[in-house]
């Protein structure tokens, strides 16, 4: 997979889940991006993720985000392409 001109396999290192059906995703490139599950729930296979309790089952398994004990997964490249930049430099801590 080629991402931003890099020729290496993209994987997910970590996710942080939010109640808004979004997650903060850290990729193997160390990029941190926001993924909104509403980008994919129009597809029948991902419809169960509209329910917050199902969405919260997200786990990273071998570099891939899975839900519902592996019943649903999303390729890291697809997740990357559907996510958007998260500017960690401008985050204000309280």
CATH number at residue 74: 3.30.2020.10
How many structural domains is the chain composed of? 1
State which residues form the domain around 21. Answer: 2-86
Res 92: pLDDT:
59
pLDDT score of 87 more than 80: no
With respect to residue 39, please indicate whether it lies within any of the assigned structural domains. yes
Mean pLDDT of 43-52: 97
With respect to residue 47, please indicate whether it lies within any of the assigned structural domains. yes
Instruction: Record the tokens describing residue 48, joined without a space.
Output: 């169960």
More confident of the two residues 91 and 20: 20
With respect to residue 64, please indicate whether it lies within any of the assigned structural domains. yes
* CA quadruple 6, 30, 56, 58: dihedral, nearest 10: 50
Res 86: pLDDT:
84
Place of tokens 């649903």: 72
With respect to residue 91, please indicate whether it lies within any of the assigned structural domains. no
With respect to residue 50, please indicate whether it lies within any of the assigned structural domains. yes
Average pLDDT score, the chain: 89
With respect to residue 34, please indicate whether it lies within any of the assigned structural domains. yes
pLDDT score of 76 more than 60: yes
């Amino acid at each position: 997979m080629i991402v931003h001109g890099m020729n290496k396999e993209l994987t997910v290192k970590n996710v942080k889940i939010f109640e808004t059906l979004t997650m903060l995703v850290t990729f193997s490139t160390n990029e941190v991006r926001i993924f909104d599950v509403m980008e994919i729930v129009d597809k029948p296979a991902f419809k169960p993720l509209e329910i917050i309790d199902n969405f919260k089952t997200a786990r990273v398994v071998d570099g891939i985000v899975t839900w519902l004990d592996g019943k649903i997964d999303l390729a890291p490249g697809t997740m990357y392409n559907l996510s958007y930049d998260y500017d960690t430099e401008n985050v204000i801590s309280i």
